[in-house]
Amino acid sequence: MVADRGRLIGVWRGAARMAAPDPADRGLAYGDGLFETMRAHAGRLPWWPRHRARLALGAARLGIAWPDEGLLEVALAEALAEAPDGVVKLVLSRGVSARGYAPEPGQPVSLLLSVAPAPAPTVAALKVDRLELRLGVQPALAGIKHLNRLEQVLGAIEVGQRGLDEGLMADSEGRLTCGVRSNLLVRLDGRWLTPPLEHAGVAGTVRALLLASWSPPGGVQVAELPLAVLARADALLLSNALRGILPATRLGERLLDPCPPGLDTARAVLAASHPAFCEP
Amino acid sequence: MVADRGRLIGVWRGAARMAAPDPADRGLAYGDGLFETMRAHAGRLPWWPRHRARLALGAARLGIAWPDEGLLEVALAEALAEAPDGVVKLVLSRGVSARGYAPEPGQPVSLLLSVAPAPAPTVAALKVDRLELRLGVQPALAGIKHLNRLEQVLGAIEVGQRGLDEGLMADSEGRLTCGVRSNLLVRLDGRWLTPPLEHAGVAGTVRALLLASWSPPGGVQVAELPLAVLARADALLLSNALRGILPATRLGERLLDPCPPGLDTARAVLAASHPAFCEP
């Protein structure tokens, strides 16, 4: 049984297993690291290659070394033994270094593994709205899943205060970008469109899967979307690696199509790729 | 003797002293917290009211509770006993909560105190240049000293790669904002100007002191500065709470005035406010 709050599997600094995170870890000092939150199924991580690829992209972007492969394998196996059908969270930080923003070269990276239960089945109604909070434009950090998540924390607070299930975020230049914890697909003029993630946002695993393998009526493509398009959207899909694909049923005061064209095939693509998303 | 790498004083979760940071601390998970790095003198923190005010502003902005006053006092006293003339770093995080960006209400905040030696006396020459990296525009986080510091980490890496002593950063809309680890004062047309910090950047203690108490020739004021003004600047001052006020001596290939009008009075204002900055 996995506790609600999640459960620590282990902390490593280089190859050494530690009792706890180092107080001087740069993950804590500066958010200088990356993470992945992954859904397990029957003791496996079907999307590990996707999560690993994004983690590797982030590590390359930030100049963080890659952890020891053997250690990573052993640590993930331990997490999967503990939560074979739960959620596995992996944090990779640049490790410890002397005070100051400049990293100290050659320091071992830190790993932190924890597990949590799979999310509860989704409610039928899903109310979204655009948030007041905008995302900063930062091409150097866009797309990757780094530990600087205050914008998402503030976004989640706004979502809660407004009684929403998810919030839609635009960047500081007014481009619709993503949900607080999801990627967005917008049904507009008979096509599915999803914002590029070169200015802000995280490039999600489900989004990538849909762009590669889904052929909905009218097609799906990446397109810059000014916030104003929301007024004309017929339907919205939210995607993330823990909950899969969810249609928003309300945008502000407006009802959206809860079964838009292509939702069935999107879910079939998802289920074929990851068995945790097979309909019961 | 304080080790070069800094030394942990203690970690607290609410009122409880902990052996180490909690692996589920939101400071580590999301950079969901704040910090202050303060220069001590003779076992005191002369600028504690300034640092405390910024920390309180940040806590209010992020909705993080204020730590217990008695605990804060005891913890700071312990740090000052260990490093009476060093640097005291205080981290305040939102504490532990369940997985997900939304904070769990009512959880105790975390405190982390560490100390390090005072910075070495400054080199005479100080070479700066504008960095390629831009800062994201984020009014919700501008001015406060939060733990989401990847932009500064990447900026410090660029500074190192280019052999600079400090890098000048503009925001994504081209407004000159700050140095990687300092605020900026620009000498332009016989006046000192410093950028507003409502879009990005950290509102520094020395900058605030100078705006309140310094009367240089031509005056000092806050003004939006397009990056292009750098080509016309006669002199640049960099300020931060650990190193005080430093004139940049080179901007790219161009030499700057190393003793610009007002530097002497700026340093006098500084020394009158904080005895660690008295000239030897």
As a whole number, mean pLDDT of residues A111-118 equals 96
Is the pLDDT score of A5 beyond 80? Answer: no
As a whole number, mean pLDDT of residues B82-111 equals 95
Q: How far apart are CA A26 and CA A188, in angstroms?
A: 43
Q: DSSP for B111-124?
A: EEEEEEPPPPPPPS
Is the pLDDT score of B37 beyond 60? Answer: yes
As a whole number, mean pLDDT of residues A113-139 equals 92
Judgement on whether residues A72 and A174 belong to the same structural domain of the protein: no
Q: How far apart are CA B169 and CA B135, in angstroms?
A: 7
Judgement on whether residues A106 and A185 belong to the same structural domain of the protein: no
Is the pLDDT score of B112 beyond 60? Answer: yes
Is the pLDDT score of B280 beyond 90? Answer: no
Query: Which residues of chain A neighbour B134 with C-beta distances below 8 Å?
Result: 138
Q: How far apart are CA A188 and CA A235, in angstroms?
A: 8
Is the pLDDT score of A111 beyond 50? Answer: yes
Angle (nearest 5°) at CA B233 between A138 and B181: 45
Q: How far apart are CA A50 and CA B234, in angstroms?
A: 51
A103: in domain? yes
* pLDDT tens digits, B140-160: 999 999 999 999 999 999 999
Shortest distance between the Cα of B115 and any Cα of chain A, in A, equals: 10
Judgement on whether residues B73 and B131 belong to the same structural domain of the protein: no
Judgement on whether residues B95 and B154 belong to the same structural domain of the protein: no
* Confidence band for B123, pLDDT divided at 50, 70 and 90: low
Reported ipTM: the value is 0.96
B201: in domain? yes
3-state SS, B47-99, equals: CHHHHHHHHHHHHHHHCCCCCCHHHHHHHHHHHHHHCCCCEEEEEEECCECCC
Is the pLDDT score of A280 beyond 70? Answer: no
Is the pLDDT score of A94 beyond 50? Answer: yes
Q: What is the domain count for chain B?
A: 2
Is the pLDDT score of B3 beyond 60? Answer: no
* pLDDT tens digits, B165-197: 999 999 999 999 999 999 999 999 999 999 999
Shortest distance between the Cα of A261 and any Cα of chain B, in A, equals: 30
Residues B26, A153: C-beta atoms closer than 8 Å? yes
* Confidence band for A2, pLDDT divided at 50, 70 and 90: very low
* Domain's final residue, options A74, A92, A116: A116
* Domain's final residue, options B65, B85, B116: B116
Judgement on whether residues B83 and B195 belong to the same structural domain of the protein: no
A11 to chain B, any CB pair closer than 8 A? The answer is yes
* Confidence band for B124, pLDDT divided at 50, 70 and 90: confident
Q: Which of residues 210-239 of A touch B (CB under 8 A)?
A: none
Phi-psi region of A201 (alpha: psi -120 to 50; beta: other; left: phi over 0): left
A185: in domain? yes
Residues A28, B27: C-beta atoms closer than 8 Å? yes
* Confidence band for B83, pLDDT divided at 50, 70 and 90: very high
Q: How far apart are CA B150 and CA B144, in angstroms?
A: 15
Q: Say which residues have a Cβ less than 8 Å from residue A150's Cβ, sequence separation at least 6.
A: B30, B31, B32, B62, B141, B146, B147, B148
Residue B258 host element (H or E): none
Is the pLDDT score of A3 beyond 50? Answer: no
Query: Which residues of chain A neighbour B115 with C-beta distances below 8 Å?
Result: none
A3 to chain B, any CB pair closer than 8 A? The answer is no
Range of B247's domain? 127-277
Judgement on whether residues B26 and B135 belong to the same structural domain of the protein: no
Judgement on whether residues B108 and B136 belong to the same structural domain of the protein: no
A119 to chain B, any CB pair closer than 8 A? The answer is no
* Confidence band for B1, pLDDT divided at 50, 70 and 90: very low
What is the distance of C-alpha A190 from the center of its chain? Answer: 27
* Portion of chain B with pLDDT greater than 70, in percent: 97
Asked if residues B94 and B109 have their Cβ atoms less than 8 Å apart, the reply is: yes
* pLDDT tens digits, A48-67: 999 999 999 999 999 999 99
Judgement on whether residues A141 and A87 belong to the same structural domain of the protein: no
B120 to chain A, any CB pair closer than 8 A? The answer is no
